[in-house]
């Protein structure tokens, strides 16, 4: 087996695109490397209209001129962008199939990961748009949503069916030129979700996507676009799991949220990509650009629980453009072993009476490095802007680090900004108190960590909160020393 795989790899490295696609039993993968032909091929594969192909090519040309950012407080071996295959679709996937038609093997895999599609569908009232290796394989509850006029579909379908909406909003919040990874994503994104809530509609259920990276050596480039029209409401969940891989996998997603007048978007993420093993080998590189724009009286709320990935580079942000708009950011970032996280938010206050809240909890254990990096910017016309930021770090053990890089820029005299940060450890007396009452140290730590992160956990939708709590416990397992 090993022999043939190596052979194949070698062949692929030398082969050009025109010699055809790499196809084994399960998936259909492009040769490694990135050039204009690959971008065109992705677009063709997706049956995209001309304007989309041009959009991608434009992004690719911009990306070629850009350099990988180095300012983040993370150290890693830079991925070789020519050694990645930019497209891979599971063989069994067909977006038109109903849930019953899905390959039982795939369903089994979800079950192992604790994501039962059936359960989600029936019990939790969640419409799930599952993404395995870049192509949606099952879409549920589409009908119920359609009755309300809500569009929730893979973005590739949306490009076909609602080109006017995609064209109007895509790239307006995160332009192609925004940063290195956003440009890359714009050029090669293969799938993701598109969601549109019409005027005055309150989405009756939590929308949810589960992403997974399946094929070794393929990067995932998801693109999510959520548009909430005037006076609408949507709560969107995003959860991630990934199986163990030895080589580093790249994940460069772009998420754009657009909240029009009086709309509200709540976006929750649980991220649990493979963090690498205890020696720091392997793990996912998570370089994500997430940003939302708020029009008048609207609100965007980001909640994230980050426990996975070897390297995280992620700053979900809000542009508070409209008057009276509100931005919120609640985050828990847990790093263990050799994980590195540089995460935080940007709150750009442009409109009058805009408000933002930032609550960030960082927990570092093992030999990990955890950084909060945030920007609060008050524009000169943002009268009565208000911000409150709180960054708390918890250190476990003596080999890890906690860092805070808060940038605060105020250009308006009526602004009111508060920033607070603390760093502490779990008190011995707290542990002692628990031990005394028959709670072992590991459980005690889980208890204390849960208490520490409660403010953020409370913001998660119910079913996510339970999952997240478990995740925290799992990620910190064995960190007591």
Partner 1 sequence: MDLKDKLVSSFMAFENNVDVDHPVHDVRTEAMKNFEIKGFPSKKEEAWKYTSLNSLQKIDFSIFPKQDNALDYKDVKKYFIHDIDTYKIVFIDGIFSSNLSETTHDGVDICLMSSALTKPMYKQIIDVYFNKVASKYESLTTLNTAFSREGAYIYIPKNKMPKKPVEIVHFATGNEASLMLQPRNLIIVEENAELQVIERHQSLTSNEVLTNCVTEIFAAKSANIDYYKVQNDVATASLIDNTYINQKSKSFVNVHTFSFGGKLTRNNLNFYQNGEYMDSTMKGVTILGEKQHVDHHTLVHHIEPNCESHQDYKGIYGENSTGVFNGKIIVDKIAQKTNAFQQNNNILISDKATINTKPQLEIFADDVKCSHGCTIGQLDEDAMFYLQSRGIPEKEARALLMYAFANNVLESVRIPELKARINKLIAKKLGVNLGFDL
Chain residues in the site for partner 1 (CB under 8 A): 71, 378, 380, 393, 395-425
Alpha carbons 149 and 277: distance in angstroms, whole number:
45
- Shortest Å, Cβ 453 to partner 1: 18
Which residues is 347 bridged to in the sheet?
Answer: 318, 376
**Alpha-carbon Rg of the chain, whole angstroms?**
22
- Shortest Å, Cβ 361 to partner 1: 15
CA distances from 479 to 16, 307, 446, 451 (A): 47, 14, 11, 17
Is the Cβ of residue 53 or residue 412 nearer to partner 1 in the bound state?
412
- For residue 80, how many other CB atoms are within 10 A of its CB? 10
DSSP per-residue string spanning 442-459:
HHHHHHHHHHHTHHHHTT
Q: Could you tell me which of 415, 353, 344 has the C-alpha nearest to residue 373?
A: 344
For the chain, the straight-line distance linking the first and the last C-alpha, in angstroms and rounded, comes to 41
Q: Identify whether the C-beta of residue 155 lies closer than 8 Å to the C-beta of residue 211.
A: no
- Shortest Å, Cβ 299 to partner 1: 23
- Shortest Å, Cβ 480 to partner 1: 13
Q: Identify whether the C-beta of residue 118 lies closer than 8 Å to the C-beta of residue 199.
A: no
Alpha carbons 393 and 396: distance in angstroms, whole number:
10
- CA dihedral (173, 328, 365, 406) in degrees, to 10, reads 80
What does the DSSP 8-state code read for residue 87?
Answer: -
Q: Identify whether the C-beta of residue 421 lies closer than 8 Å to the C-beta of residue 263.
A: no
DSSP per-residue string spanning 90-115:
ETT--TTS-GGGS-HHHHHHHHHTT-
Number of H helices, E strands in the chain: 13, 25
Which residues is 388 bridged to in the sheet?
Answer: 357, 418
What does the DSSP 8-state code read for residue 222?
Answer: B
- Shortest Å, Cβ 73 to partner 1: 8
Q: Token pair for residue 148?
A: 């309300």
Q: Identify whether the C-beta of residue 240 lies closer than 8 Å to the C-beta of residue 210.
A: yes
Alpha carbons 393 and 166: distance in angstroms, whole number:
40
Which residues is 191 bridged to in the sheet?
Answer: 222
């Amino acid at each position: 087996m090993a022999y043939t795989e190596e052979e194949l790899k070698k062949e692929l490295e030398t082969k050009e695109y025109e010699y055809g696609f790499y196809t084994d039993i399960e998936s259909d993968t492009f040769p490694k490397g990135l050039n204009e032909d690959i971008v065109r091929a992705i677009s063709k594969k997706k049956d995209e209209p001309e304007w989309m192909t041009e959009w991608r090519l434009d992004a690719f040309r911009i990306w070629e001129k850009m350099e990988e950012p180095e300012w983040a407080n993370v150290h890693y071996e830079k991925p070789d962008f020519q050694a990645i295959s930019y497209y891979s679709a599971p063989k069994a996937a067909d977006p038109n199939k109903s849930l019953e038609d899905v390959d039982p093997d795939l369903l089994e895999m979800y079950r192992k990961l604790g994501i039962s599609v059936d359960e989600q569908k029936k019990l939790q009232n969640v419409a799930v748009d599952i993404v395995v290796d870049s192509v949606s394989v099952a879409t549920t509850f589409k009908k119920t949503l359609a009755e309300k006029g809500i569009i929730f579909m893979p973005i590739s379908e949306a490009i076909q069916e609602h080109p006017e909406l995609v064209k109007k909003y895509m790239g307006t919040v995160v332009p192609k030129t925004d940063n290195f990874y956003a440009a890359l994503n714009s050029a090669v994104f293969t799938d993701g979700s598109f969601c549109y809530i019409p005027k005055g509609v309150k989405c009756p259920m939590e929308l949810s996507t589960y992403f997974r990276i399946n094929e070794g050596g393929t990067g995932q480039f998801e693109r999510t676009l959520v548009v909430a029209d005037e006076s609408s409401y949507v709560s969107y969940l995003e959860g991630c799991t990934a199986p163990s891989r030895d080589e580093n996998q790249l994940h460069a997603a772009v998420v754009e949220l657009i909240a029009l007048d009086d709309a509200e978007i709540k976006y929750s993420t649980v991220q649990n990509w493979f963090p690498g093993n205890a020696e720091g080998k392997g793990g996912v590189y998570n370089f994500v650009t997430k940003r939302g724009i708020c029009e008048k009286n609207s609100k965007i709320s980001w909640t994230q629980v980050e426990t996975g990935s070897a390297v995280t580079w992620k700053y979900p942000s809000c542009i508070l453009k409209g008057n009276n708009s509100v931005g919120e950011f609640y985050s828990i970032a847990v790093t263990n072993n050799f994980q590195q996280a540089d995460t935080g938010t940007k709150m750009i206050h442009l409109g009058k009476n805009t408000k933002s809240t930032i609550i960030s909890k960082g927990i570092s254990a093992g030999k990990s490095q955890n950084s909060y990096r945030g920007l609060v910017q008050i524009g000169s016309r943002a009268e009565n802007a208000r911000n409150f930021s709180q960054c708390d770090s918890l250190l476990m053990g003596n080999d890890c680090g906690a860092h805070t890089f808060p940038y605060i820029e105020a250009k308006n005299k009526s602004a009111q900004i508060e920033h607070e940060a603390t760093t502490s450890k779990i008190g011995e007396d707290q542990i002692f108190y628990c031990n005394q009452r028959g709670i072992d140290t590991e459980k005690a730590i889980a208890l204390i960590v849960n208490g520490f992160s409660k403010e953020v956990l409370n913001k998660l939708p119910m079913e996510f909160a339970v999952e997240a709590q478990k995740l925290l416990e799992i990620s910190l397992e064995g960190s007591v020393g």
